[in-house]
Amino acid sequence: MWAARRAGVSTAASSARHQWRSSGAAAMMGVGAGCCGGFCSSRSASAAATASAAATPPSFKLACIQLSVGVDKEANLASAKAKVAAAAAAGAELVMLPEIFNSPYSNDAFPVYAEELPPATPIEAGKSPSATMLREAAREHNIFLVGGSVPEREGDRIFNTCMVFGPTGELVAKHRKTHLFDIDIPGKMTFKESETLTGGNQLTLFEGPHGVKAGVAICYDMRFPEMAQIAQQEGARVMLYPAAFNTTTGPHHWELLQRARAIDNLIFVATASPARSESPEGYQAWGHSTVVDPWGEVVATTEHTEDIVYAQLDFGRQDEVRGQIPILTQKRTDVFSPAIHLNDEALALGKL
């Protein structure tokens, strides 16, 4: 089924795996014929909007898995695998796990649970049980699997990393959390990921079911609207955020930020959160995994316990909204420059 559908995508990890970052000198340079669809950084926002609306892809079912995560990595992976199987059995073609789904969410735990990930370390080397599970699950169920995130070790650095696997088990994208969660709200929440983690330096886009482009970012990245804007300008119809907001910021900002990103760019926005811990100790995730449509409506959500959130992504409706409120073609790029900056060196997946 997927071979025909993705024939134009899998000709290389370099095609559907656009990884880009701000790089001043590259701002108005084309990236050449190796890019999927021939996109280049000088393309205007209006041109991107026109291209994305040229052919409306069929709708597909998305599943966001809200998973309980404990101290036993093997149990976490087994639970995630079972939930992925359930989502696939329910007809989901794109399935997303939560941020840090194999480990407790703490600076103490990140180094202990960190794994060496592909492509730098091949899965066959046996250094990543998480990558092994994700690849097998995606291949077994013939789905695109957005692997939430896991702590990644590379040399003496640790990243918060999302891997995306395609229906044949290939690694189609890899995103390292770009903006680290360093906040201090006196008396309520203090957390500094930078004490342990290193931030990534790329933005990530891949082609999913039926060739639909999706952007991937992680949790705190959602607070930076440029990431979703750039993804949309490059043709993304969906933004996917594995995320673990907490019980301090979650009630105030979680849904608001998702709806803002959706309305800003007339895209679908989906989040997958860990379930809230039953223990009063440690990090408390907000939960409430959610899908928001391009009109800014919450079309699916849940509470804070384990669950799977499903939504049918209707791209015909998306094009209808884009026609009714045509902000994507009305942008005054003669007044301000669209923020599209590509990192040529990172275009090929093997160069991450």
Rounded mean pLDDT, 10-35: 31
Place of tokens 């409120």: 325
Return the pLDDT at 290.
98
Given a cut of 50, whether residue 35 has pLDDT beyond it is no
Judge whether 327 and 266 are in contact, CB under 8 Å: yes
Return the pLDDT at 78.
98
Render pLDDT for 292-321 as a digit per residue (tens, 0 to 9): 999 999 999 999 999 999 999 999 999 999
- Please give the Cα distance from 201 to 318 (Å, whole number): 30
Given a cut of 90, whether residue 241 has pLDDT beyond it is yes
Return the pLDDT at 129.
98
Instruction: Determine the residue type at 147.
Output: G
The confidence band for 52, taking pLDDT boundaries of 50, 70 and 90, is very low
Q: Which of 83, 174, 177, 213 is catalytic?
A: 177
The confidence band for 169, taking pLDDT boundaries of 50, 70 and 90, is very high
The confidence band for 32, taking pLDDT boundaries of 50, 70 and 90, is very low
> Quick one: what percent of the chain has pLDDT higher than 70?
80
Given a cut of 90, whether residue 279 has pLDDT beyond it is no
Higher pLDDT, 101 or 349: 101
Render pLDDT for 109-161 as a digit per residue (tens, 0 to 9): 999 999 999 999 999 999 999 999 999 999 999 999 999 999 999 999 999 99
Q: Where are the domains of the chain?
A: 58-351
Render pLDDT for 172-207 as a digit per residue (tens, 0 to 9): 999 999 988 776 777 776 778 878 999 999 999 999
Q: Which of 93, 99, 170, 193 is catalytic?
A: 99
Judge whether 17 and 349 are in contact, CB under 8 Å: yes
Identify whether 61 is a catalytic site residue: no
Identify whether 188 is a catalytic site residue: no
Rounded mean pLDDT, 55-78: 97
Given a cut of 60, whether residue 16 has pLDDT beyond it is no
Identify whether 36 is a catalytic site residue: no
Render pLDDT for 225-236 as a digit per residue (tens, 0 to 9): 999 999 999 999
Q: Which of 35, 36, 162, 219 is catalytic?
A: 219
Given a cut of 80, whether residue 270 has pLDDT beyond it is yes
Rounded mean pLDDT, 23-48: 32
Half-sphere exposure of 78 (CA within 13 A, CB side): 6
* Residue 134, both tokens: 């994700």
Render pLDDT for 85-112 as a digit per residue (tens, 0 to 9): 999 999 999 999 999 999 999 899 999 9
Return the pLDDT at 284.
86
- Please give the Cα distance from 155 to 153 (Å, whole number): 6
Return the pLDDT at 261.
98
Given a cut of 60, whether residue 29 has pLDDT beyond it is no
Angle, helices 225-233 vs 45-54, to 10°: value is 60
Return the pLDDT at 340.
53
CATH T-level fold of 58-351: Nitrilase/N-carbamoyl-D-aminoacid amidohydrolase (3.60.110)
Encode 263-284 in three state secondary structure. HHHCCEEEEECECCCCCCCCCC
The confidence band for 338, taking pLDDT boundaries of 50, 70 and 90, is low
Judge whether 166 and 209 are in contact, CB under 8 Å: no
Return the pLDDT at 339.
58
